Amino acid sequence: MFKNQINYAGPASEELKKQQAIQVLQFAQITKDYQQLVKRIACNLYDDVAKIFPDHLQMIYLLTNDRRRQVWHAVIASEIMQDTLKTGGKAVVKLRHDLLNTKSTQLLKAAFNDLPNSFEALLSRFGTQAQDREVYLMLYDIARIGGPTLRRQMLGAEKLQARTIRHLHALPADLRNVGFANSLKDQQSVKDFVRLMNEMQLAKFQDKPDVEEKLLIAIKNNRNVPAAIKEIYIRLPFPPQIVPDTERLRYITCGLELEKVAKEFNNCLGNFVPIALRGEKQFYVWNKDLVVSIHKYRGHWQVDEIKLKGNREPTVKLQKMIINHFAENGVQKINGFASMLEPFLLEDAFSFVGVEPSIDDMEFDFSYFAQVA
């Protein structure tokens, strides 16, 4: 019987073969197992798809090509069609009829009121599976306000990922670049970067217009963004200096200057930019000959190191002169006898293994240690 209906011996068009296969389908003993495949394709849109294509009508959805089916997904995701699905009844029957008989461009225009450039083509980049509803709405917004450069980038992608669309949508328009969006590891990274860019508008640092422009260029051209960010980072001003400048003494005010001094003095000062920005250390140049570092210890500033170029030690006489100068401004070489005692007050300073504690030991107020530490 089937041979009379489907004859593959002679030349037949693809359309004729399709029609013949559909005719034979009515004789098949159809199972609902294929609906599991429909669920895998429709993903989170399955409930809506099942309303439009109930029971064995889901075979129509399953056999539709990917490009057309992605148009259906976008239409289903639209606000207008969501209202239609809530209405139910004849409205859903009409929607099914429209999906099957109306051109893709007309379907999209009816669902979104307009059709941005390349929107239909971009939908096809999603491949086989449906995306979450909000991803289609995000893609529509991006296609509507994105420029030709961004559209070319997206169309150039072999497959668009939902993650890419979410990241692009969360970024400001001037930062939307497919490569950069993909480089951000998750949504929190996107939020953090957007916040950073907003804070940058308020920040003050050297060469601000130039380094901001370099960052934007790096983002738009998929260049080394971390390197561009570092150029901003090393220009951020260090906290206010503790010791005032004099004819002999100069405070190093930012990371850019600290890196320059590190090269000049052939040492590792450039590694201390984060510490200096946090206010844990300060660096001063003395008579252009040596660098003095001070650090905060238990709430007090004290001289840490005094080094000539190449980390050479200055003479004892010169060290004393510098220490005295800093002491006049409240910075000691060591923070007095108290700082020498404090480490030995900590609970783990001594280990008396096998020694029984005395009554005096047991009555000692150990909470005192927490205040010292």
Query: Would you say residue 354 has pLDDT above 90?
Result: no
Mapped to the 3 state alphabet, what secondary structure does 165-223 carry?
HHHHHHCCHHHCCHHHHHHCCCHHHHHHHHHHHHHHCCCCCCCHHHHHHHHHHHHHCCC
Report pLDDT for 223: 84
Same domain, 215 and 294: no
Report pLDDT for 4: 46
Same domain, 41 and 148: yes
- Could you tell me how far CA 369 lies from the centroid of its own chain? 42
Does residue 18 fall inside a structural domain? no
Same domain, 154 and 185: no
For the record, the structure tokens of 200 come out as 């940058």
What is the rounded distance in angstroms from the CA atom of residue 134 to the CA atom of residue 131? Answer: 8
What's the domain count of the chain?
3
- Look up the domain containing 125 and give its range: 31-160
Same domain, 153 and 197: no
For the record, the structure tokens of 57 come out as 């009508």
| Position with higher pLDDT, 349 vs 129 | 129
* Least confident span in 5-9, 62-66, 283-287: 5-9
Average predicted confidence (pLDDT) for the chain: 87
Question: pLDDT category, 3, cuts 50, 70, 90?
Answer: very low
The pLDDT tens digits of the residues spanning 111-162 come to 999 999 899 999 999 999 999 999 999 999 999 998 899 999 999 988 999 9
Same domain, 222 and 122: no
Same domain, 255 and 201: no
Does residue 110 fall inside a structural domain? yes
Same domain, 141 and 193: no
Element (H, E) at 136: helix 133-145
Query: Would you say residue 334 has pLDDT above 80?
Result: no
The pLDDT tens digits of the residues spanning 80-101 come to 999 999 988 999 999 999 999 9
Q: What is the pTM of this model?
A: 0.75
For the record, the structure tokens of 339 come out as 């700082």
For the record, the structure tokens of 174 come out as 């001037």
Final residue of a structural domain among 107, 132, 160: 160
